[in-house]
Amino acid sequence: MWSSWPALAHLFSVVTLSWQTGVAVVIGGVSLCLVLSGLLTLTGSKTTLNALHPERTRTLVTEGCYRFSRNPVYSGFVGLHIATALLLGSAAGLLVTPFLIFLLTFLHIQIEEAGMQRLFGLQWEQYCNKTPRWFC
């Protein structure tokens, strides 16, 4: 069938989608959307993108993807990490994912959340009670 289209025949012989690649593309796409959506939501709310300075936060963002997770950008980063590990076929990359989540939680998220608590008090507590840190 492809004999009349040698370039296409070559392309299809080189590009084969494994289940791993398909899953990686889906996870990577969703994760990239999470990161971009989270950053655009913060920008639209005219608040800081610099997670290392929670005191620069102008408003508590609870809309958009922040309705489902307090950390959609970090969740997206973890998803991109998983997608990359799958694309590379790296079992070690997948195995370090819990360590990545641990580092993000203790080196960034807990510091940011302490700052949000100081800035927004009861409003922050109510948000935390109804919105998970991650998506679960």
**Arithmetic mean of pLDDT, 91-95:** 94
Q: How confident is the model at residue 12 (pLDDT cuts 50, 70, 90)?
A: low
Rounded distance between C-alpha atoms, residue 34 and residue 56, angstroms: 22
Mean pLDDT of the chain: 87
Higher pLDDT, 1 or 31: 31
**pLDDT per position as a tens digit, 15-29:** 556 788 889 999 999
pLDDT for 136 equals 67
Query: What is the pLDDT, as a whole number, of residue 103?
Result: 95
- pLDDT mean over 65-75: 95
The pLDDT score that the predictor gives to residue 7 is: 61
Annotate 61-86 with b (16+ C-beta within 10 A) or e (fewer). Answer: bbeebbeebbbbbbbbbbbbbbbbbb
| Residue 2: per-residue pLDDT | 47
Q: 8 pLDDT exceeds 90?
A: no
pLDDT (tens digit, 9 = 90+) per residue, 31-66? Answer: 999 999 999 999 998 888 887 777 788 889 999 999
Mean pLDDT of 71-81: 96
pLDDT for res 46: 86
Burial class (CB in 10 A: 0-12, 13-18, 19+), 49: exposed
